[in-house]
Amino acid sequence: VGEAVAYYSNTIRGKVQGIGFGFLKLVYTKPEGRIIGVHILGEDACELIHYGTALAQSGKTVQSVLGTMFAAVTFHELFKSAASKAVLDLDKARWIKMIRTLDEADGKADGWIQVESLQKGLADFGVQSDDVSKIILPAEKEQEEIKQSTVISRVMKLGLKPRREADPQQREGAGGSSAPQAGVRLGASKAPATK
């Protein structure tokens, strides 16, 4: 279970009205991102909670909230802000799982990945070669290993979207167009709109 919090003070309406108190918290399942609860404290909470309840009862995901168009200058912006944070959290967890499989491949699982294995693994994950060169810097190609946390940090800074699954056996057998692609930049694909 994950939680993502958005604060009233960070919304357009909160800034315009000088509201510094209040928050909305989305509670969601991992790794699916299905919304299972909403907590709201602040102005108009009694009106906003109805939308949050509808999201939880209908089984919507945090990704689907990103595809929803909200009226300007309303606190509904809190839902989108919290959902964005939740999606980043889910993406990071998927990348960690995928990168960890590369670390475990050498049998040591010590937090360091063989540079050669990392290059091949990132290509297998569908990361484009120009992005691989931003993850593994030229000076590091001469080294034998690179730290796992460094790789994850660089992947997240690039805004690459991970695959849904991190199972190496699935990578080898995926082959068709049904396999989600990694290496797609955030914002490059549109989330489906909800009604």
Phi then psi for residue 37, to 5 deg, are: -170, 155
Give pLDDT, residue 108. 81
Higher pLDDT, 116 or 168: 116
pTM, entire model: 0.71
Give the C-alpha separation, 95 to 44, whole Å.
37
Say yes or no to pLDDT of 136 above 60.
Answer: yes
pLDDT tens per residue, range 47-68: 889 999 999 999 999 999 988 8
Please give the angle made by the CA atoms of 192, 73 and 27, to the nearest 5 degrees. 55
Say yes or no to pLDDT of 188 above 80.
Answer: no
At residue 166 the predicted structure's pLDDT band, cuts being 50, 70 and 90, is: very low
Nearest of 53, 130, 38, 125 to residue 83 by alpha carbon: 38
| Three-state DSSP class for residue 39 | strand
| Structural domains of the chain sorted by starting position, each given as residue range(s) with its CATH number in brackets | 2-88 (3.30.390.30), 91-185 (1.10.238)
Please list the residues that pair with 161 across neighbouring strands: 184
Q: Could you identify the residue written with the tokens 């937090």?
A: 111
pLDDT tens per residue, range 83-134: 999 999 998 888 888 888 888 877 887 888 888 888 888 888 888 888 888 8
